[in-house]
Structures are given as structure tokens and as C-alpha cells.
């Protein structure tokens, strides 16, 4: 799965990022994410952070409501 920077914020808010090495949630709002490459950009406290966990290093999963 891939979420692009230009995608609707409401759509990206439905999802969260999980690391595949230790299955912990990655905090912040998703700006962009790509499961295939393991790269993501998240906004934490108003600051964008670019993360790279390597190929298939993250999963994009739906938030539980």
C-alpha cells in the first residue's frame, strides 16, 4: 500500500504505521508512506520527520475505531 502526499488528509487519518521488526506503532500523522520501500514521512508536533525502515519495514494498517 502507498499513501501519497497529495492524498486527502481524511483518507490518511484512517491509517496508522506499524514497524514490522517489533510491531510497534509509529507516532504522528501520515504525510506519505510506502510499504514497498519502507519509507514514510510523518508529522509529529507540527514537525515533519522522514523515516526509512528499509524494504517492507513498515505496514500501513487501518486504525481501530
In this prediction, residue 26 carries a pLDDT of 96
- Report the alpha-carbon distance of residue 32 to residue 4 in Å, rounded: 5
- Report the alpha-carbon distance of residue 23 to residue 37 in Å, rounded: 17
In this prediction, residue 64 carries a pLDDT of 84
Return the SS3 of 31. strand
Q: How far is CA 33 from CA 28, 59, 63, in A?
A: 12, 9, 15
In this prediction, residue 30 carries a pLDDT of 97
The whole-number average pLDDT for the span 42-55 is 96
pLDDT digits (tens, 9 = 90+) for 5-46: 999 999 999 999 999 999 999 999 999 999 999 999 999 999
Q: How far is CA 55 from CA 8, 38, 39, in A?
A: 25, 5, 8
25-26 and 15-19 as β-strands: parallel, antiparallel, unpaired?
antiparallel
Amino acid at each position: 500500500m502507498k499513501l501519497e502526499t497529495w492524498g486527502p488528509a481524511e483518507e490518511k487519518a484512517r491509517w496508522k504505521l506499524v514497524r514490522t521488526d517489533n510491531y510497534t506503532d509509529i507516532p504522528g500523522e501520515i504525510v506519505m508512506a510506502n510499504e514497498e520501500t519502507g519509507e514514510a514521512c510523518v508529522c509529529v508536533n507540527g514537525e515533519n520527520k522522514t523515516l526509512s525502515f528499509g524494504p517492507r519495514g513498515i505496514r500501513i494498517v487501518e486504525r481501530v475505531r
